[in-house]
Every structure is written in C-alpha cells, then in structure tokens.
A and B are shown apart, each in its own frame.
Chain A
Amino acid sequence: MDDTELTEGLVRDLDGTFEILVRIHVDRCYAIALRVLGSPHDAEEIAQDALVRAYRALAAYEPARIRELRLRPWLATIVVNLCRNRVRRHSVRTTPLAPLVEAGHEPAADASTDPAALATAGADRERLATLLAMLPDRYRIPIVLRHVDDLSYAELAEVLGRPEGTLKAQVSRGLAMLRAAATATDLQELTA
C-alpha cells in the first residue's frame, strides 16, 4: 500500500486504517528515536507517543489536509520533535553514552549465518551506534534521517526546517567525523 492509498484510507476510515499505518511505520519511528537518543527504553516511549499523537492529529485534520500529508517525513518530524523535547527536559547529555545494549535485535537481512560472523557484525554495529551517539545533534539527526531512515534531502529539509544545502554539508561533515572516529577506534567495517 503506497502513501496515497494509505492517506485515502485514513480519510475514509481512520479507525479501520490506522493500524496499517502503525504496522508500516512503527519500526522506523523506533529506529529514528533509538539512533537519535541512544536508549531503547526512551525509543519505545517516543515511538508510541509519536504514533498516538499522529492518530490524534489525523482525527482532528480536515480530509484535504490528510490527503496532502507526506506520511514518512510527517511522522519523522513528530519523532524528531519528541526526541528533542526529551533531551531538553532531561538536560543535554554531556558525556557519550555507554555502549548500547540492544536486547533482541538480529542484524537485518544478513546473508551470513555463521555465528562468529554474526557476533562480529553485532559487536561492530554496537560500536557504530556508539560512535553515532557521540556526534553532536546537528550532525547526528540529519545522518539518522538520511542514512538510517533513507529520507531524501527534500524530506530532511521538511523535517528539520533547514535548507537542503546546509543539510548536505552537515551530513557530509558528520560522516567525515564518523569515519575519523571509526579509523581511530579501528572499526574495520567503516573504512570507506
């Protein structure tokens, strides 16, 4: 089901269609929050809160407004704003996060079934997540939206309210910082 069909369904029968939206978008809402905040517990709360807010907004919007919605960037905007509010409320982190503990995640679509290889990939993934978490917000959030969530720069501009050129520069600079950090910590998978 593409976005046009989905928004049309939401206009016609919000209660009957909203579950489909949840099934399609819950993982990416969670992933964005997880990579922006670094805490699985916070990410669960943010993903839930974001989707509940989306429902309430949809219930209040006129049909024309729902039809115009681009669901992917719209939901990302809600998630990112909630993440920012949370960081603000809990005072800005000044120390890098401890290595993340992610219970229950298997590497996505990994062809290898060799346990040793999976373990290595898992460990590297954690280190990569840690390095990402250490980036300043202005680099980390665009990188998460662009490279974890796969949004276009036009969509990033919509979510973050910054010009595309600025965002390209921030993503590029952030990636350079990640590469440098990866090299420094000898993270083999990140050598570009």
Chain B
Amino acid sequence: MTSPVRLTDDRPGALGPALSARAPAHVAEDVLVETGLADRMAAIDSPLGTLWVAWNGRGVSEVELAPDGPEAAARHEQRTGRRTTLVDAPPAHLVDAIWRRFAGETRVRIPLDLRGRSAFEVAVWTKALEIPRGEVRPYGWIAAEIGRPKAVRAVGTALGHNPVPLIVPCHRVVRTDGSLGQYSLGGPDNKRTILAAEGLDPEGLENAARRGERLSGSSTTKIVCWPTCRHARRTQDRYRVAFRSLREAGEKGYRACKVCRPTAIAVDVAA
C-alpha cells in the first residue's frame, strides 16, 4: 500500500507524489511548433496535385512536391534543421487561406517563416508577391524594382530557391526574352499549367515574344505596358500597338504605365 500523505508543513512537496501530473506528450511538441523550433507537415490539394506544406507558429515554411510525406518531411528537416512531424491536415484557417490565395485573392494574409534566408532573397520573393494573378513580369523587372538592376541571374536563382511556391508566385516571373523559363515546382510544364489556370495564354505569350513584341501600347491612351498588365489586356485589338522596346515606344510618343512600370528595365531586342 502507499504510505499516507502527511499533511504537515515540515515536508514540502508532500502532495507531489499524489498530485503531481505529467503533461500529455503533445504539450511540449505544441510549444516547440508554436515557437518555430519544430515544424508540422501535411498534404494539401492544389492545381498541381498533392502538395506537402510545412508550417510552424511563425508561418508557412515550405511548399513542395514529393512522392510521399516521409520523403517530404525528411527533405524539409534536412533543409531547415528542424524536427518535422507529419500530421493529417494543416490548421483549417491555413488551408482556407492557401486555397483562397490559389484562387487569386490577394488580400488573404499567409504568414511565412523565411528565417535563414538572405535579405536579397526575401526582397525578390516580396516583390514577386506584387504580381497579380493572370499577369507575368520578367526577371529583370524584379531586379530593377528591388534596386539591383544587374542582378538578373541572381533573381532567377532566388526564385528557384523559393521555399513557398504558389504562395509566393514565382511562376509569374518569366525570362526577359519572353519565354517562360524554369520552374522549381516540378519543371516548366507545371509553370505553363499554373499560368494557364490563372487565365493566361502561355503559348500566345511565347509567340508574341518570339515576334519581338515585348511591350503593348494603346494608340488611344498612348500608354505602354507589359503585355499581361491588366490595362494592356483591356485594350481593344484595333488600338493595340506592339513595341520591341521602351525606347521605341518613347520615340513614338508613348509613356510607361504607372501600374506595371515597364520603365524599370530597358527592354532591348536581343538576337
């Protein structure tokens, strides 16, 4: 039998054996996830099929394609150094926010955990977030907008390292010559699929780029835009004028759109 608990004050902790309690195992784990010292991961449906999403209390830390959860979690652990536990589903509010973002809502806020990334990378990804659904911009535009006009290749590399594709829409950044370019989430075909799902005509874009049509102006407003800018796309065909460069447009009396800012880079016709 247990010895009686003596309720006198000369034995501090006397009620401990009877009344101490062990926290359920999930409490410690919840603390580590909430503070961003451990991650959870779960599958989520997307336009590209099943994606693996990792998150912690600071935000979403990764979105990746993987054959299965254990492999996705192992890769995430290796990249971040944080223990990653697979669970059934992300929190409902997170799933809801991600789905609304996929569906094109720009106002939905999704916190991101981008610790350990360079200021340059974060600047590139933040800029990419400004590109609206259904539009694309060249790598060089991002480089110029973040004040590093010569860092075009570095921008491409940073976008390739985007840990949260689809949430940060690196698929909306294309090569300066107008071709779609690479895509980290499963390759260029996926990039094409997503852009088409967002209402773009990837082939039409590439054909126009091949013809040297880098910018699109309106002969009524005398404003010149990136071809996918919403202001360019509502121009009627009969008023639409294609330009090979901003200089050419300028010479013909067009000014740059203040929304899509083609001023940021000098668009020269490369061979």
The answer to whether B23 touches A125 (Cβ under 8 A) is no
Which of B28-36, B184-192, B232-240, B251-259 is near enough to bind chain A? B28-36
Which of B13-21, B69-77, B210-218 is near enough to bind chain A? B13-21
The answer to whether A30 touches B7 (Cβ under 8 A) is no
Over the window 1-28 of chain A, the binary record of Cβ atoms lying under 8 Å from chain B Cβ atoms (1 yes, 0 no) is 0000000000000010011001100111
| A192 / chain B contacts, CB cutoff of 8 Å | 4, 6-8
| A171 / chain B contacts, CB cutoff of 8 Å | 9
| B28 / chain A contacts, CB cutoff of 8 Å | 22-23, 26
Interface size on A, residues (CB 8 A): 58
Over the window 14-52 of chain B, the binary record of Cβ atoms lying under 8 Å from chain A Cβ atoms (1 yes, 0 no) is 111111111110111011101101000000000000000
Q: Which residue of A lies closest to B2 (CB)?
A: A121
Q: How far is the CB of B54 from chain A (nearest CB, A)?
A: 17
Instruction: Report Cα–Cα, A90/B63, bound state, in Å.
Output: 40
Q: Which of A117-163 contact B (CB under 8 A)?
A: 117, 120-121, 124-125, 128-129, 132, 143-144, 146-152
Q: Is the interface of A mostly helix, strand, loop or mixed?
A: helix
Q: A52-B34, A146-B12 are in contact. Are A190 and B4 (CB under 8 A)?
A: yes
Instruction: Report Cα–Cα, A17/B261, bound state, in Å.
Output: 48
The answer to whether B2 touches A150 (Cβ under 8 A) is no
Does chain B have a CB within 8 A of A112?
yes
User: What are 24 inter-chain pairs, A to B, with CB distance below 8 A?
Assistant: A27-B22, A27-B23, A30-B22, A31-B21, A34-B21, A43-B21, A44-B26, A44-B27, A47-B23, A48-B34, A52-B57, A105-B21, A107-B2, A110-B17, A112-B1, A128-B19, A143-B15, A147-B15, A148-B13, A148-B19, A152-B12, A179-B7, A188-B4, A189-B4
